Structure 1
């Protein structure tokens, strides 16, 4: 009997119990939770919530001593299904995972005595059939499911993520509808105020009452807009981690040393990876829109090689053109670097070019790049011209509204969210530029992006074309095996030897023993977390001078910057590259090399 059941007097009816000894057992537990919820008549939303939380919490406990999982029905005034994990030792689920579980589930309890146990539960629909009979039948059905397939489970998780995204979009549309109703209500109040103003002048109390009502409506509108932005940010963050997990697992399945797959399986995994990449891009765009609305999205200005950026974009987008259309890039792009945010500029061009390619069945989509001088300041002008279907004049202003799509028979053949052009314009404005559009139906569309291009800043560390830093030894401290596996090829370009530490409690001892050239440190780990390890390294006289780069998938605005002063840099995990790490580490390692050379001369 669980701790919760013993406290309440309820008697759990066990459906299954197993030792969770690895990823496959965890996937089987998650699969069984989904099947049990669906056969009990629970809604798809409640099923996905419980299965996702079970997978997240259980996955964080993998490796714990004696880890077991149990699925049971608990009778009572409100019957519920519970998933219980029990283990021995000091390991605990991440607080972030428990906070998410408390928000998403009816029951989330953590017990420490006499042994560690976490209980996750959701209510089940009541029927006339006794709960014991339902449990017996369900137990037999679960026993007949057989072994779990990694590929099938990945497809199931991808399906759940797509369903969650569709639900999120439905919620957003509902928020927009409510916002429109409130705006109409506010307009009605204003009209009423204008009509009755002459009569209300005689009654000061009536004016005060109406003013208070208007203030309340304005406050409600402001709160609704903040809630919408908060909703985008929360949904994007909650979706990004599992999508990154799906992409990491697909890369592992397709890796050279992985177990061979059939041609059909390779094709299916590649389709999963492609869908996951598309979803991750959409999630990041939603997150950036939310950041921009709240004023938390700031550009990082660095010298950008336009020729290299356009070369990479040509390889990414050329295959998306329709059979009768071609994508034309300039052969004479300016050689002088443009000082701007490379990620933002890439996303601006990708969205504008993708939009033109989507609606151009015949002809070409042409990109031109020019430099210009305005008020003594250099500017970069990027023009995208297509021969597509064009946009009616009355619709041209609305294409920059979020989630708006031009109506017409062509729309049925081209799916989308309506975020591309609004997102590109918002990023352009954040870079200090502007975006303009003109179009003629049946002839095509022209989009002009103008952004500041300077002044040119010197590249830190000297020649931007210099070879990347080559380290002798690099230590990576991260408890996520999927991330360690996916970043391994990147680090192989940077260091001759890479030591991976998955247990943060062993990190300081390993670093002290090996004395690496640099340390890469994840922030979100079971205690001691990245903040605590960074403080220990800073306080240790023998390790305090080691360069430490913090890696995180969290929103930078939510970090405790006061506790990151000892870090050489803080980098996001999503777009990590050897070149980016080399840029960060080159100045420090260069100073150390110079100091060592000076010592030898003396």
Structure 2
């Protein structure tokens, strides 16, 4: 920093011990008096300077420069300078801003030098600043320590006397107010009696208002139930077409499908990626709805933490922006972890994805530690990023559903505002807690703390249905040996888009496929064709899958045919008791030929070359409306 014509250095003091701070205070007092600054402004400046020196004492290279500066007005300024990354307390900075005419905390461009400026204006004409500076230097050179101490004592005594006089005045005023208060007591009593009478008259109105409040509460609860039901229904309705989009895109990208141009393959890959993202958002919405309604329950089991972290690394590595390092440990020596692996994966994926989204340089790091503070072993996951950070006023609000911190950092970064609320809700279901600490420009730290052993729910006896046990076993062994194709299967589903992606999965599993989009004809078709297996959707117009399953089990001619349920519903939303003894319940989201073969107890043969442009052979697939 350079010294111009309007800056006059008075003294520079190296602050190494407490005595140096006392010297700085005396010099500041002398400079203020010489410049005509007295009374309360002098006390405020010297007090703040003394407090700042005490707090910064010990900082590397700490010095204090006492100067007269002229920039429109003349000020007595004390500039503290030091090298290390150390800040004065925020309470001191706030007090300086209130008490002084100027207070600033400055940092050099390279961050290696810091400066605290404390200044108070003085009543000196700008023309006489140079002469005043010379006079102040002379006074500082001849400062008498003992005289300064006596003068300080006199000043403090004067302030004490003034305080005592003010206290005496306040005491007299208090006595007068007490007298006036006694005079008004009678009026207060009368007013109280009048108010009591009016209160009794309004009791009936309060009771009516309370009843109305209860009614409004019931309406809010009903509205909340409707909202949860709406989320669930919308999520279910979105899942089917999204699953179909993903399945069709997967078929187009299959190595054995008809060749695509590079541009077509890139476009289909984008369709597949967008569909997967949309499916994840739909699943997230559905889980939030289930959590709010209390229907989302963890299923604890022994969790392979190393495999879980490896999966996260592989999934998220490609989402990091150029120049950002994703650091996830690959070798962990820890005790056993018993928790819901799916929930934990979703928690960490949401937190890491959020960190990667708002980090444009630096790193996103996941640390794992096992801790025990007398309440049993716990696993603590800490995600640190060097991203944009969150304002202090917004930290609590980021856990509100659908809320997003507004700002230029949001441009080009999609999201629903459900990631952090969803992660915190899942953490609580795992018996843990999720906390967040952030500062603008200094990144964010999210801590997920869960117990090492989540208690398993008590096992419940399996529910029985009316058709269970009436016709022997409901599942017969497949007619053909494992690895060989079945003679025939019947598919009961009304979703044309899903069927387009599902038919190729049956190649190598069945020689003949009958597709029914009218569920009302399912029982008659199965009775007449006696297939090796039935693939059954649950949500269909008219006769739904539950009823079709009941009718099949009730008919002696169809009761032995294995049934595999295909559904877009989440596992927790499937009414299992109504599907007793079905071979399997498979989710449509990520269905593979291997899943179908496993459900039927056989190995999948290599499928024929899939093509969405070539219609299936009519001799092999029969469509029935």
Name the TM tier (shorter chain). 0.5 to 0.7
Aligned to 2:408: 409
Aligned to 1:215: 214
| Unmatched segments (≥5 aa) in structure 2 | 1-194, 457-480, 602-625
CA displacement at 1:348 relative to structure 2: 1.2
Of Structure 1 and Structure 2, which has the larger fraction of its residues in helix? 1
Aligned to 2:546: 531
Q: Is the CA contact (8 Å cut-off) linking 2:403 and 2:417 kept in structure 1?
A: yes
Q: Is the CA contact (8 Å cut-off) linking 1:372 and 1:380 kept in structure 2?
A: yes
Q: How does 1:79-478 map to 2 (within 5 A)?
A: 199-333=198-332, 338-373=337-372, 377-454=376-453, 472=484, 475=489, 477-478=491-492
CA displacement at 1:519 relative to structure 2: 5.5
Aligned to 2:7: none
- Classify the secondary structure of the residue corresponding to 2:411: helix
Alpha-carbon distance change, 452 to 484 in structure 1, aligned in 2, over 3 angstroms: farther
Q: Is the CA contact (8 Å cut-off) linking 2:553 and 2:559 kept in structure 1?
A: yes
Of the candidates 551, 557, 566, which is equivalent to residue 551 of structure 1? 566
Q: How does 1:499-518 map to 2 (within 5 A)?
A: 500-503=513-516, 505=521, 516=532
Alpha-carbon distance change, 382 to 227 in structure 1, aligned in 2, over 3 angstroms: same
Q: Is the CA contact (8 Å cut-off) linking 1:333 and 1:370 kept in structure 2?
A: no
CA displacement at 1:510 relative to structure 2: 6.3
Alpha-carbon distance change, 527 to 302 in structure 1, aligned in 2, over 3 angstroms: farther
2:569 maps to 1:570:
no
Aligned to 2:20: none
Alpha-carbon distance change, 486 to 384 in structure 1, aligned in 2, over 3 angstroms: farther
- Classify the secondary structure of the residue corresponding to 1:563: helix
Equivalences, count: 378
Q: Is the CA contact (8 Å cut-off) linking 2:334 and 2:370 kept in structure 1?
A: no
Q: Is the CA contact (8 Å cut-off) linking 2:322 and 2:360 kept in structure 1?
A: yes
Of the candidates 519, 522, 526, which is equivalent to residue 537 of structure 2? 522
For 2:390 and 2:256, locate their aligned partners in 1 and report how far apart those are by CA, in whole Å. Answer: 50
CA displacement at 1:289 relative to structure 2: 1.1
Aligned to 2:79: none
| Unmatched segments (≥5 aa) in structure 1 | 1-195, 458-468, 587-602
Please identify, of 548-557 and 244-253, the stretch whose mean Cα deviation from structure 2 is larger: 548-557
Q: Is the CA contact (8 Å cut-off) linking 2:303 and 2:336 kept in structure 1?
A: yes
CA displacement at 1:343 relative to structure 2: 2.8
For 1:304 and 1:585, locate their aligned partners in 2 and report how far apart those are by CA, in whole Å. Answer: 28
TM-score by length of 2: 0.52
Alpha-carbon distance change, 560 to 364 in structure 1, aligned in 2, over 3 angstroms: closer
CA displacement at 1:398 relative to structure 2: 1.5
Q: Which has the higher contact order (CA 8 A, sep 6+)?
A: 2
For 2:306 and 2:298, locate their aligned partners in 1 and report how far apart those are by CA, in whole Å. Answer: 21
- Classify the secondary structure of the residue corresponding to 1:203: helix
2:498 maps to 1:483:
yes
**If you compute each CA radius of gyration, which structure gives the higher value, 1 or 2?**
2
- Report Cα offsets for 1:318-374 as digits up to 9, x if no partner: 111111211111121357764333332222111100110011111111112334456
For 2:224 and 2:412, locate their aligned partners in 1 and report how far apart those are by CA, in whole Å. Answer: 32
CA displacement at 1:236 relative to structure 2: 2.2
Aligned to 1:462: none
For 1:507 and 1:256, locate their aligned partners in 2 and report how far apart those are by CA, in whole Å. Answer: 38
For 1:263 and 1:213, locate their aligned partners in 2 and report how far apart those are by CA, in whole Å. Answer: 66
For 1:334 and 1:578, locate their aligned partners in 2 and report how far apart those are by CA, in whole Å. Answer: 37
Q: Is the CA contact (8 Å cut-off) linking 1:306 and 1:334 kept in structure 2?
A: no
For 1:219 and 1:403, locate their aligned partners in 2 and report how far apart those are by CA, in whole Å. Answer: 24
Alpha-carbon distance change, 583 to 497 in structure 1, aligned in 2, over 3 angstroms: closer
